[in-house]
Amino acid sequence: MISRHASRVKKYRGQGAAMKKHIIFDMDGVIIDSEPEYQKRIKIFMERNGFTITDELSFQICGSNRKDTYELFQENVPDFVMSYEAYNKGRDQVNAEYPLNLRAIVNEDIYPLMKKLKASGFHIGMASSAPKEKILQNLGVLELTDYFDIIVSGQEFVHSKPDPEIYIYTMKKMGVEPKDCYVVEDSTFGLQAAESAGAVVICKRDDRFGYDQSGADYYIDRLAEIENICLGK
């Protein structure tokens, strides 16, 4: 069910859906339900190295990129002494042993939604914290690459989400003002980044990971509901 954040309605008065023809998607948690799978692999990696993480810390790392997760472990896990190089190597090893089954975790609503957005003349962007090669690999496997006009990785920037840099850059490359661009996000950091960038924020509800999802302009339970927001149907 769609709901709208009443306190931000006046910001977009007079700017109907028909005027907005740009939308940017996050990948993890929006297009693919990957966070539970990432959590499992992180737990395996930590246990192999003699560490445990609390549920609270598990919530903190949701939506974070690998570098930020490493730094959170350094700050919050007792005796976590490991170089970033060793950390990366260990994480890659676990991921290789337990590859994601993307077809099993893709949000199937994305396919008809993309077709309708493209048919309506939308410019579509991707702005994900994941490495560029991983984004391209995932979109390729899922046969979604051709729908995107621009694909941006958080690794291209000094600051990661919740810093708005990735969204400011992506909107600039798309040639659109923030007030005329939708962003679809789910995690605390992602939503904060999109809001700080000044975009029209669509939040995909998710109560599994303790996200702070306040402050979005629209709330949806299914990606299919984006059609009603963007196309006025």
pLDDT digits (tens, 9 = 90+) for 159-169: 889 999 999 99
Q: Is the pLDDT of residue 47 over 60?
A: yes
23 with 46, same domain: the answer is no
Q: How confident is the model at residue 2 (pLDDT cuts 50, 70, 90)?
A: low
Helix, strand and coil percent figures for the chain, each rounded to 5: 50, 15, 35
**pTM, two decimal places:** 0.89
Average pLDDT of the segment spanning 165-189: 97
- DSSP conformation class of 219: E
| The pLDDT value given to residue 24 | 98
User: For the chain, what is the domain count?
Assistant: 2
178: pLDDT strictly greater than 60: yes
Beta bridge partners of 125: 24, 150
Q: Are residues 11 and 90 in the same domain?
A: no
Q: Do the Cβ atoms of 128 and 135 come closer than 8 Å?
A: yes
Full residue range of the structural domain in which residue 165 is found: 3-33+104-230
Residues 110 and 221 in one domain: yes
66 and 164 assigned to the same domain: no
Bridge partner list, 152: 127
